[in-house]
Every structure is written in C-alpha cells, then in structure tokens.
Amino acid sequence: MNKKVIGLLVALAAVSDAMACPACKDSFTKHGSNASVGDAYSLSVIVMLSVPITILIVGIVVIARRLRQHPNSVA
C-alpha cells in the first residue's frame, strides 16, 4: 500500500516537469497571439487519444454483450 502511495506522489510531482513541449508551453504561458496554436495542439492531442480509446471501449462492450447472451458457450 505504501509503495502505491509513494509511486502516486512521485508521478504527480513529475507531471509539473512534463506538462508540455516548449512550443506548447510558451503558447499557453505567454497568452499572446500564439494562444490559438496551443489550443489547436491540445485539441489535436485529445482527438488522437480519443480514437484508440473509443475503439477499445467498443470492443469491450461487444465482447461483454456476447458473453451475456451466451454465457456457457466457448468462443
């Protein structure tokens, strides 16, 4: 249990150092004319991460439904 808590604290402490690449970080911290570039980077990352997560969730839902329909059958 203690190792999990320590690992979580180390991970949270490391997040501040790895928040963004220098170009993204500058776009957000300066609040200048490049702020829209930083927003675009963030949106593109969210879109790219949502595709594999969506595929994984759909696959899990399909498998769970098939197992509920035929609980004793072998795939």
Q: What is the pTM of this model?
A: 0.48
Helix %, strand %, coil % of the chain (to 5): 75, 0, 25
Given this model, what pLDDT does residue 61 score? 96
Residues 17 and 2: their CA atoms lie apart, in Å, by 24
Residues 62 and 8: their CA atoms lie apart, in Å, by 33
Averaged pLDDT for residues 16-21:
59
Given this model, what pLDDT does residue 70 score? 83
30-59 residue pLDDT tens: 565 666 766 777 788 889 999 999 999 999
